[in-house]
């Protein structure tokens, strides 16, 4: 094995555009489309489990969602290890993309067996895709280079551009036209991301620009008849997508992703026979598909998934502790920083991931999403009028029946657009018509904020770095967790000042997402960059996988936290859900402790930051130390 083949790609030259390697923009779009597919399903998943063919209650839905999202982040540990030891990052990403595309396609089948099989394919595929594409980004930058944090922030914008598109396309289409159509769009997105990674550069340029323009026009076209709350975000995301497509088109014209990026460290290992004529490479491919039924069972039986995750986590943590203990002083102390911040990252994501579960259902049931264009006045009292079927009806009495979201969903499923409403004095001021923002659309708030503020944060770190004023990574973590806590305090306060029906203004939800997002920008891209900088090069993909494994624990913990907001689906007559005035306090009583815990954790990180910064040994290059 040659010395050059064994070295990480970070020491090699790469064409540049705007101060960043051109390969970054290829990885940007590949990850963008993969995140489009993932978050397209995430925006719909809990709603689909409750309102679709499964008809689960809140707690059952949270547990399935938690098992899925936790395993999604657990498998990258194995995917990273296999890439490190055998496949290389490039082959691992391609395998992951194929598995995930198959999973999204299978989600279009509305039956229990295909449903759990689809989730399993997505889990295994993500294990190969997620850690290795992030590692490839780090490999494009020279070790110790100051542009790495900014580069990861740009990459993070790509992640969130895909995450912003998916609720506005997959979520909207799924809620309005049918769940399977939304999942079908996610399938197309994954296939585009995979194609970008494997086809020749000339086709890649056309594919990136063409899909950017088509997707942008579709987002705007679907919402031309909507109010600014719906049309505005679509225009913003569509514009950002087209601009990113033009920049990527330019970058790939200057060189694109270098051929050496993500190649196996020892290609000869791939050809070794492991079982008869079967070589090691094909053994991995077949094994990846063979494990899918087992993963499907773990998702379906989520208690087993929890125990499996715990055992898996203990083994992984033990391995990293042993690796740190046998390392030299600087490597050991750097690994200690990774492990400490991994814990606080786990706490951050346990709270953050309420967005897909408890905050999602809070939005569906208790956030006022209707822009009334007509309302009941006193002259209508005592008459019967046609009223549009929207969330505006929840919490109101129709004759002798209290209307909840269950009734609204049943009317919509039956294709009922208006109902005959007997007007009473209590109905004066009630909206009778007007557009309603889809629940899943609010899942785009976080990534849209990142599109607005991501570049600003990237520039801020660069400017402060040039003046030697940039906060250390631990301080950024503290800032991130603290702002997350303030976001949940905003949700709690909004719920505390709800109206008489128990409905909360959209402004409180949007403020909460803003604070959660600025916190995320301080923590998440910096965390990815930190792993590639501090982890020993011999196990960098494995440590990246462990970083995502910590996020797996977060997602399982997030499901357990969300269960405290679970609302009973029983009730009198045909009403399955209670009215919003009875559910709003359930959410508020959980959001406040989350906020206070996050703020207290931020204080702890600030106190520890001087020690953690010292252990990072910034500016020391490991190859020089080894020499």
Instruction: Give the pLDDT of residue 107.
Output: 83
How large is the average pLDDT for residues 376-392?
90
For the cut 60, the answer to whether the pLDDT of residue 188 exceeds it is: yes
For the cut 90, the answer to whether the pLDDT of residue 570 exceeds it is: no
For the cut 90, the answer to whether the pLDDT of residue 603 exceeds it is: yes
Which position has the higher pLDDT, 315 or 375? 375
Predicted confidence (pLDDT) per residue in 357-381, tens digit: 899 889 998 999 988 888 889 999 8
How large is the average pLDDT for residues 33-49?
79
How large is the average pLDDT for residues 408-431?
88
Coil/strand/helix, residue 617:
coil
Instruction: Give the pLDDT of residue 621.
Output: 64
Coil/strand/helix, residue 281:
helix
Predicted confidence (pLDDT) per residue in 207-235, tens digit: 888 888 888 888 777 766 565 556 777 88
Instruction: Give the pLDDT of residue 51.
Output: 81
Instruction: Give the pLDDT of residue 517.
Output: 93
CB-count exposure of residue 505 (10 Å: 0-12, 13-18, 19+): middle
Instruction: Give the pLDDT of residue 434.
Output: 83
Instruction: Report whether 574 contacts 463 (CB < 8 A).
Output: no
Instruction: Give the pLDDT of residue 11.
Output: 45
Domains of the chain plus CATH, in order, are 17-366+444-620 (1.20.1250.20), 387-420 (no CATH)
Instruction: Give the pLDDT of residue 607.
Output: 95
Instruction: Give the pLDDT of residue 105.
Output: 84
Kindly write down the DSSP assignment for every residue of 537-563, as one continuous string.
GGGHHHHHHHHHHHHHHHHHHHHHHHG
Helices (H), 353-404: 358-366
Q: Which residue has the tokens 């923590």?
A: 523
Distance CA 34, CA 468 (A): 36
Instruction: Give the pLDDT of residue 12.
Output: 60
Instruction: Give the pLDDT of residue 93.
Output: 87
pTM of the model: 0.81
Which of the 8 DSSP states describes residue 502?
S
Coil/strand/helix, residue 383:
coil
Q: How many residues does the chain have?
A: 627
For the cut 90, the answer to whether the pLDDT of residue 574 exceeds it is: no
Instruction: Report whether 62 contacts 559 (CB < 8 A).
Output: yes
Three-state secondary structure of 28-94: HHHHHHHHHHHHHHHHHHHHHHHHCCCCCCHHHHHHHHHHHHHHHHHCHHHHHHHHHHHHCHHHHHH
Which position has the higher pLDDT, 301 or 176? 301
Helices (H), 291-357: 292-300, 302-325, 329-352
How large is the average pLDDT for residues 372-391?
89
How many Cα atoms are found within 13 Å in the side-chain-facing hemisphere of 414?
11
How large is the average pLDDT for residues 392-407?
87
Name, in order, each residue with C-beta under 8 angstroms of 113's C-beta and a sequence gap of 6 or more: none
- At residue 575 the predicted structure's pLDDT band, cuts being 50, 70 and 90, is very low
Coil/strand/helix, residue 230:
helix
Name, in order, each residue with C-beta under 8 angstroms of 232's C-beta and a sequence gap of 6 or more: none
H or E segment and range at residue 516: helix 506-534
How large is the average pLDDT for residues 159-181?
80
- At residue 145 the predicted structure's pLDDT band, cuts being 50, 70 and 90, is low
- At residue 15 the predicted structure's pLDDT band, cuts being 50, 70 and 90, is low
How large is the average pLDDT for residues 186-198?
79
Name, in order, each residue with C-beta under 8 angstroms of 324's C-beta and a sequence gap of 6 or more: 331, 332, 335, 336, 339
Instruction: Report whether 598 contacts 485 (CB < 8 A).
Output: yes
Instruction: Report whether 138 contacts 148 (CB < 8 A).
Output: yes
Q: Which two tokens stand for residue 115?
A: 């449903």
Instruction: Give the pLDDT of residue 608.
Output: 94
For the cut 60, the answer to whether the pLDDT of residue 407 exceeds it is: yes
């Amino acid at each position: 094995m040659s010395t050059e083949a064994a070295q990480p790609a970070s020491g090699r030259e790469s064409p540049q555009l705007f101060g960043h390697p051109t390969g970054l923009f290829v990885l940007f779009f590949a990850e963008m489309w993969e995140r489009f597919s993932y978050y397209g399903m995430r925006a719909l998943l809990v709603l689909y489990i409750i309102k679709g063919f499964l008809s689960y209650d809140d707690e059952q839905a949270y547990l399935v969602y938690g098992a899925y999202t936790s395993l999604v982040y657990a498998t990258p540990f194995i995917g990273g290890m296999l890439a490190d030891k055998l496949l290389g990052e490039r082959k691992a990403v391609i395998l992951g993309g194929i598995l995930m595309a198959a999973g999204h396609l299978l989600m279009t089948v509305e039956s229990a067996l295909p449903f759990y099989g689809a989730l399993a394919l997505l889990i295994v595929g993500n294990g190969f895709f997620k850690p290795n594409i992030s590692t490839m980004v780090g490999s494009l930058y020279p070790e110790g280079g100051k542009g790495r944090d900014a580069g990861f922030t740009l990459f993070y914008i790509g992640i969130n551009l895909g995450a912003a598109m998916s609720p506005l396309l997959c979520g909207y289409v799924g809620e309005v036209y049918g769940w399977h159509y939304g999942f079908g769009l996610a399938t197309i997105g994954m296939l585009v991301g995979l194609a970008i990674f494997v086809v020749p550069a000339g086709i890649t340029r056309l594919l990136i620009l063409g899909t950017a323009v088509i997707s942008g026009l579709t987002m705007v076209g679907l919402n031309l008849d909507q109010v600014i709350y719906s049309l505005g975000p679509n225009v913003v995301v569509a514009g950002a997508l087209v601009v990113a497509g033009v920049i990527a088109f330019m970058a790939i014209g200057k060189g694109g992703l270098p051929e050496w990026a993500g190649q196996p460290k020892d290609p000869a290992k791939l050809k070794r026979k492991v079982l008869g004529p079967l070589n090691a490479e094909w053994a991995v491919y077949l094994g990846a598909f063979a494990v899918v039924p087992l993963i499907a069972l773990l998702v379906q039986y989520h208690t087993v998934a929890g125990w499996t995750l715990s055992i898996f986590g203990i083994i992984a943590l033990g391995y990293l502790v042993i690796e740190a203990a046998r390392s030299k002083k600087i490597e050991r102390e750097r690994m200690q920083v990774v492990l400490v911040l991994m814990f606080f990252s786990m706490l951050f994501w346990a709270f953050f991931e309420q967005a897909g579960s408890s905050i999602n259902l809070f939005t569906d049931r208790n956030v006022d999403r209707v822009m009334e264009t007509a309302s009941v006045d006193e002259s209508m009292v005592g008459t019967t009028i046609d009223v549009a079927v929207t969330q505006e009806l929840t919490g109101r009495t129709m004759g002798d029946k209290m209307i909840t979201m269950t009734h609204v969903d049943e009317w919509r499923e039956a294709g009922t657009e208006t109902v005959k409403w007997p007007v009473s004095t209590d109905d004066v001021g009630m909206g009778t018509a007007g557009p309603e923002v889809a629940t899943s659309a609010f899942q785009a708030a976080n990534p849209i904020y990142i599109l607005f503020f991501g570049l600003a944060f990237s520039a801020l770190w660069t400017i402060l770095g040039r003046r030697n004023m940039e906060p250390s990574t631990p301080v950024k973590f503290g800032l991130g967790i603290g702002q997350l806590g303030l976001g949940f305090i905003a949700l709690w306060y909004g719920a505390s000042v709800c109206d008489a029906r128990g409905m909360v203004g959209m402004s409180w939800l949007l403020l909460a997402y803003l604070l959660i997002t600025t916190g995320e920008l301080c923590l998440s891209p910096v965390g990815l960059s930190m792993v590639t900088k501090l982890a020993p090069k011999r196990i960098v993909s494995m440590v990246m996988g462990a970083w995502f494994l910590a996020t797996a624990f977060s997602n399982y913990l997030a499901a357990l936290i969300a269960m405290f907001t679970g609302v009973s689906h029983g009730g009198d007559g045909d009403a399955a859900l209670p009215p919003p005035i009875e559910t709003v306090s359930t959410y508020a009583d959980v959001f406040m402790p989350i906020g206070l815990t996050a703020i207290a954790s931020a204080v702890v990180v600030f106190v520890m930051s001087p020690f953690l910064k010292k252990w990072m040994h910034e500016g020391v290059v490991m190859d020089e130390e080894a020499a």
